[in-house]
Structure 1
């Protein structure tokens, strides 16, 4: 085994990180934007009704709570502070222990998540994870735009992005160990299995636990995740 890839929300963290990030940003940078919570609630309802995509929901949430453009220095300072909060309050101890064990094995550690890359990188750095595969945002010079810079890193798209990363790093065909809590990551679990690596269902949802039992995948329980219909990634 040479590569360990981790999902983030509810795999390493107890709860989702996107809505808490938006609230954190607004409280820190523009408290008046908290008045726009009802508009975000409307967008969440639209997403739940499948009237808008998750990618579009992320763009709307960003536009409401962060504005159209944010300077890089300001953003990185807030992301670093948010990462400190996540590490202090929202991480499974079992996940930290597994990351440390994989590192001790000499594994290359990767975080692959649908969450936004601009704050995921800050969290990954504090976990000691150098490689990140996440939902990219658009940058205009030194300013982050509210539009995404690519596809939402979820489901089949996550597998495509993981495979592209493996190709870029000259690691295609290497055994992969993959950890996730959700059945939406089935394509990446199957990639890990096909590589001769290992699929690990961590804190699995009901559907993933059933699939893992059927496929003979290892199951680990690091704690009880906080489930949210609106943050299914």
Structure 2
């Protein structure tokens, strides 16, 4: 069975998160007047920190605020390609790209598994030559993107559950997995994997990795 190399995306391949930059990019490009609503986004963020809204609900609220609730697919795809071009120009770890290519050259099937939204992650994956994506899905009403999630936020245990469902659908349950991530929320995925590669980790994940003997690589 073909071995898999599964990469988290935000802060693993990219130097920072991509969700907030995507929303700001979209608003600046498509509807600059929405930037005046950023104080409302700060209120939503405070509600999340106070545990009054979930991470998934926070995504829906900020998407509605900065993108709107009905966006044609063609606009989304064009903006995603433009966002990807800018991101890949200066927002990724060169070492991560080299490792991704090395995994592919070794005959491994490369997968992105990310909490970021699939409607723009697909453009990033395409630019990286990655066909397989497990990501947070959104509701499409025909060719219109809605500000609602179509299932769980692909984060923490939910990411592992979604990856396991993808493996089953692809007939890959039991395939050897090498998993790359920077964040402690991905411990469930590390525990699923046969090989763990901790990349430029947060302090919490670095401590876990050191305790468990997982190899650590600091990308440059």
TM category (shorter chain) comes to: over 0.9
Q: Does 1:51 align with 2:52?
A: yes
Q: Match of 2:5? A: 4
Q: Match of 1:131? A: 132
Q: Does 1:92 align with 2:93?
A: yes
Using the size of structure 1 for normalisation, the TM-score is: 0.92
CA distance in 1, matches of 2:86, 2:150: 26
- Please list, as runs of the form range in 1=range in 2, the aligned pairs for 1:1-233 lying within 5 A after superposition: 2-192=3-193, 197-223=194-220
CA distance in 2, matches of 1:179, 1:213: 15
Alpha-carbon offset, residue 62 of structure 1: 0.6
Alpha-carbon offset, residue 89 of structure 1: 1.4
Give secondary structure in 1 for the equivalent of 2:140: strand
C-alpha distance after superposition, 1:128-167 (max 9, x if no partner): 1110000000010110100111100000000000000111
| Structure 1: unaligned runs, 5 residues or longer | 224-233
| Structure 2: unaligned runs, 5 residues or longer | none
C-alpha distance after superposition, 1:100-149 (max 9, x if no partner): 11011011000000000100110011111110000000010110100111
C-alpha distance after superposition, 1:168-201 (max 9, x if no partner): 1111001000000011100000000xxxx20111
Give secondary structure in 2 for the equivalent of 1:106: coil
Q: What is the RMSD of the two structures over their aligned residues, measured on CA atoms?
A: 0.9
Give secondary structure in 2 for the equivalent of 1:178: strand
